């Protein structure tokens, strides 16, 4: 975890692919707790530190995560994420070149809680939620392609599921059809950039997360 941006109301960090945003059944310390300790120490705060989770990234995904440092910011940011008022850009490394170098994907996703997996359908089916994103091919290395993805909706495993449905599973993502895992146990999906109007000051906030430095492929494929 590296801090990318901080003010009185919000703090944004660059999450690694091994860190979790919130506590889960593994019992591993989540980023929310790590950050509370960081803030307590940095500002020498007595008592409990307030820190609110505004959105999530899957554990194997790296990149920018925004937290709220005040309840006022938390309420407004939660609303902004829910209403898709936060622009989110992801980078994904895939093995297969997409047929079209850019396009828009629209599917209907059904979440399987037991398998912790989503299935994409081309038309509406029971219990499905509409999912849409746009993508474009922005770079390539000898063997891999880098896609830039703009999320329009925020469904469970949406990018992983929709790119796999297109025939382009993300590198390292065994759950969605990639044949091999990555050495670090993560997948090659990175939350590259967020942009939003500050919930309190109303200034435009733009945050870019550097690519993971523990995988040389990111350096090879990034533009």
Active site residues: 58
How many angstroms separate the CA atoms of 173 and 108, rounded? 20
Measure the CA angle with vertex 161, ends 158 and 163; round to 5°.
100
Q: Are 91 and 215 in contact (CB under 8 A)?
A: no
- Cα–Cα nearest to 106, from 186, 166, 195, 25: 166
How many angstroms separate the CA atoms of 161 and 138, rounded? 20
Joined tokens for residue 59:
């554990």
């Amino acid at each position: 975890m590296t801090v990318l941006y901080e003010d009185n109301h919000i703090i944004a960090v660059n999450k690694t692919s091994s860190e979790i945003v919130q506590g889960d059944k593994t019992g591993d310390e989540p980023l929310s707790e790590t950050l509370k300790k960081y803030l307590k120490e940095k500002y020498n705060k007595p008592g409990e530190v307030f820190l609110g989770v505004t959105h999530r990234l899957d554990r194997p995904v790296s990149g920018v995560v925004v937290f709220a440092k005040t309840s006022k910011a938390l309420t407004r940011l939660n609303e902004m994420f829910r209403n898709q008022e936060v622009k989110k850009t992801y980078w994904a490394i895939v093995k297969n070149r997409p047929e079209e170098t850019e396009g828009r994907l629209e599917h209907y996703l059904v979440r399987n809680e037991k398998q912790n997996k989503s299935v994409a359908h081309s038309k509406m089916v029971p219990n499905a939620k509409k999912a849409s994103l746009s993508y474009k091919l922005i770079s390539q290395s000898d063997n891999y392609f880098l896609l830039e993805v703009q999320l329009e909706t925020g469904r469970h495993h949406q990018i992983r599921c929709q790119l796999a449905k297109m025939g382009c599973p993300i590198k390292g993502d065994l759950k969605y059809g990639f044949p091999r895992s990555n050495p670090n146990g993560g997948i090659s999906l990175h939350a590259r950039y967020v942009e939003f109007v500050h919930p309190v000051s109303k200034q435009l906030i733009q945050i870019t997360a550097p690519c993971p430095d523990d995988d040389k492929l990111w350096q090879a494929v990034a533009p």
